[in-house]
Structure 1
Amino acid sequence: MNPLPSLFAGAVFGLALAAPPGPMNAVIAEESVTNGWLAGVRAGLGAMTADAVFLIGSLLGVVAFVDRFPTVRAAMVGVGGLLMCYFAYGAALDALDEASLVPSGAADGTADRAATGFRKAFVLALTNPYQVLFWLTIGVGLLRPGTLDVLSYTPYVGADLAGLLVVRTGSPALIVGFFAGIGVWITGFPATLRAAQRRVAAFAPVVSGVSALVLAGFGVLFLVDAVRTLL
């Protein structure tokens, strides 16, 4: 069987899921404009590494275990909400520093900052209930024989794209393509932001400010969800 169609479909699937706005892209964007392209890529790798952990965990039944116990899930979501609010505060401070032209020290310790971005995105992704739900339902099915309507799961516009790209699951090439698609996004997105930043002087504080709002919004939603589950 020719693996190329599955590889291509997996890449489209990974790219479609990685591209829409959300907390992970907010972290990648803030790291990119504040600490450089490498920091943005490393943040993306942190989120992608969490996906790999979820893939293994779903195959071993760990993700299903988390979903089976509401208290465990609520604790995980609550931690994620607190972390997002904390990182939103940091992004807001970065936006203020950039807007007032206060040096952020990004030129010093670039490698350390990039590593921090990786850890930040990795921890946030591990406590992201959307990613847990994805691997509990759709993700674990990628290696099981069946079919997958790839574009129907695209956030926000999936209903309009349903039926356009239906592929057979059960092929390792689909998983390889999936992570390749994510890889394209986490390298291309920071590069695009850095290119725009070189052309627009006020670009960095705007991106940091929007990232702070996105992280704060999702953080509050996660905290509310955790409280409701515990009550």
Structure 2
Amino acid sequence: MDAAVSLLAGMVFGLALAAPPGPMNAVIAEEAVVRGRLAGARAGLGAATADFVFFLLAVFGIVTFIERFQQLRGVMVLVGGCLMLYYAYGAIKDVQDTYTGETTPAEGKGFRKAFVLALTNPYQIVFWLTVGVGLLEPGRTDVLAEASASLAGVLVVETGSPALLVGLFAGIGLWVTAFPTALAAAKARIDTLAPAVAYLSAAVLAGFGCYFLYNGATTLGA
């Protein structure tokens, strides 16, 4: 029973990490509507692979080491900002070429784009520094105890358990396959959806790119 609860809790944590709007989902969305469901899933796999890399780094304590050096973190954020602006330009160019009839959708590089971008994404780094590290440390967490004394003992999760970690990556995997599938299905029904989603994805990437450039420059200047 405890293993099943930990598995479900891990899936919730995985979905919480993967589902919020941000640069990763912008890349997945752009790939899915321009090049199809499988291209979007490949981009999602790239982001998930980066999470697995962070998981390994957290196991060996390297993620915490990175956070201790503000200059290194600032450089990583700056690189991430530049990549987001570059990918935003690429997203606009892709949708213009594809939907003006100048070219047909080419094989994308979504896996590589999402993987490299995720490795410089401070949100993912912060997750693995806080929640991720907590999930890896052996122990027991009463999730609902702080919300109400009457709920104490209702949802107790064993941190550091294999079931919790399997659930975490299962939740991530569920999102990065379901999200592009839903977008591709919607695109098939609404012709105007694809360019709108692609332009929105470019805007999200550009917005986060500018913010990360500011954040990185501020960190380096501190």
TM-score, normalised to structure 1, is 0.86
Q: Which residue of 2 aligns with 1:141?
A: 134
Pairing of 1:64-83 with structure 2 (within 5 A): 64-83=64-83
Partner of residue 20, structure 1 = 20
1:103-139 deviation digits (Å, cap 9, x = unpaired):
4422x5x4xx2xx110000000000011111101110
Structure 2: give runs of 5+ residues left out of the alignment. Answer: 147-151
Q: 1:172 to 1:40 in 2, by over 3 A?
A: same
In structure 2, distance between residues paired with 1:166 and 1:18: 23
Superposed CA offset, 1:62-116 (max 9, x none): 11111111111011110000000000011112233344x324422x5x4xx2xx1
**Distance across 2 between alignment mates of 1:174 and 1:202:** 41
- Aligned equivalents of 1:67, 1:3: Cα separation in 2: 32
Which residue of 165, 182, 202 maps to 1:212? Answer: 202
RMSD of aligned C-alpha atoms?
2.0
Corresponding residue for residue 62 of structure 2? 62
Structure 1: tracts of 5 or more residues without a match: 153-162
Offset, 1:227:
0.6
Q: 1:165 to 1:45 in 2, by over 3 A?
A: farther
- 1:123 is the counterpart of 2:116: yes
SS at match of 2:104: coil
Give the match for residue 198 of structure 1: 188
Q: Secondary structure at the match of 1:138?
A: helix
Q: Which amino acid aligns with 1:179?
A: F
Q: 1:143·1:172 contact (CA, 8 Å) conserved in 2? A: no
Q: Could you say which residue in structure 2 is the equivalent of 1:160?
A: none
Q: Which secondary structure state, in structure 2, belongs to the residue aligned with residue 4 of structure 1?
A: helix
Find the aligned partners of 1:51 and 1:28 in 2 and give their Cα distance.
Answer: 15
Q: Percent identity?
A: 59
**Alpha-carbon separation, structure 2, partners of 1:79 and 1:59:** 25
Are the equivalent residues in 2 in contact too, given 1:67–1:73 (CA < 8 A)? yes
**Structure 2 counterpart of 1:186, one-letter code:** V
- Match of residue 215, structure 2, among 219, 222, 225: 225
Q: How many residue pairs end up in the alignment?
A: 213
Is the contact made by 2:28 and 2:40 (CA closer than 8 Å) also made in structure 1?
A: yes
Partners in 1 of 2:113 and 2:192 — Cα distance? 25
